[in-house]
Amino acid sequence: MLESVIDIRGLDNAERSKVQARAEAPQRWTVDEIVALFELPFADLMHQAQTVHRENFDPNGVQVSTLLSIKTGGCSEDCGYCPQAARYHTDVEKQDLMQLEEVLAAARAAKENGASRFCMGAAWRSPKQRDLEPVLKMIQEVKAMGLETCATLGMLKDGQAEQLKDAGLDYYNHNLDTAPEYYGDVITTRTYQDRLDTLDRVRNVDINVCCGGIIGMGESRPQRAGLLAQLANMERPPESVPINLLTQVEGTPMYGTDELDPFEFVRTIAAARITMPQSFVRLSAGRQSMHEGIQALCFLAGANSIFYGEKLLTTGNPEAEADKALFGKLGIHPL
């Protein structure tokens, strides 16, 4: 916010535009300021988050997405939380890229269950052109169904974001995972700047950004605040901010990490809502392990997007039915 009122009547158009842009720019948050949010009494934090939420969104509306792994396992990265890394011994079996009709059947099922966005994820470090071409067709066909399209395919090279845009991609997911100072404890096979470069490529072609992180990987509260500062202080904060709770998988380096206190997770959701008032904050991975009461607090704290998750597409949709029941109890409706 400008420190004083500036009379713009005597400025030329270029100078006037600069002043107006400064006045309208999102607030810059320091890590200390976000830590101070975390440290508020719980009721005060929730009140502030709910107030911000109501100023910007329907307080009882939640956007619903479905995620499908279209290519599973065999990834060359060393992300310490991920069972899809080839170097870790987990129960995840490597699977080649799904066929188009399989993906479209999953998208139809997702739409029937109330999803408005369909996200396709592939375990690549970075897609080769031969990898990308069938995915472009998937995006085109899913878009034609009337669903919003999202993809998470790893790092993008020059020209690939343009191809995704031309195919009709609405959102690209590429998480920062954690704060810059903790990143090296989680991943060594790609840098923080690599992630930022991919986000820049996506922004430059005007694809919406879906970018968040994972909580509960052994990071400190200031490091959780550091992740939110990175996201909130982007020139244009992500339209969608997934907040994931670490799902521990035996065989990965982070298996056995001390579990995060559920109220700390709720505080993270609230801080994300306050620092990114116009972004959709997604209650993402780890949600199925949360008690209904904790999920309800997350919605009260400003979460207004969820993943149903891909398992609903192959197991008779028990997760979807449970979500519908919870929505009914809370008076929530899908957007």
211 is catalytic: no
282 is catalytic: yes
Q: Which amino acid is at 213?
A: G
Among the listed residues 117, 190, 201, 282, the single catalytic one is 282
Is residue 305 within 8 Å of 285, Cβ to Cβ? no
Q: Which residues contact 2 (CB under 8 A, 6 or more apart)?
A: 19, 22, 23
Tell me the C-alpha distance between 18 and 13, whole Å: 9
Q: Tell me how far the alpha carbon of residue 6 is from its chain's centroid.
A: 38
Among the listed residues 16, 87, 119, 195, the single catalytic one is 119
Among the listed residues 22, 28, 54, 82, the single catalytic one is 82
Closest CA to 299 of 318, 311, 316, 283: 283
Among the listed residues 75, 117, 190, 287, the single catalytic one is 75
Q: Which residue has the tokens 């109220």?
A: 263
150 is catalytic: yes
201 is catalytic: no
210 is catalytic: yes
79 is catalytic: yes
Among the listed residues 117, 201, 210, 211, the single catalytic one is 210
298 is catalytic: no
Helix 221-232 and helix 262-275, axial crossing angle in degrees, nearest 10: 30
* Separation in Å, CA 325 to CA 161, 167, 318, 332: 38, 36, 11, 10
Q: Which residues contact 180 (CB under 8 A, 6 or more apart)?
A: 192, 226, 230
Looking at the annotation, which residues are catalytic? 75, 79, 82, 119, 150, 210, 282
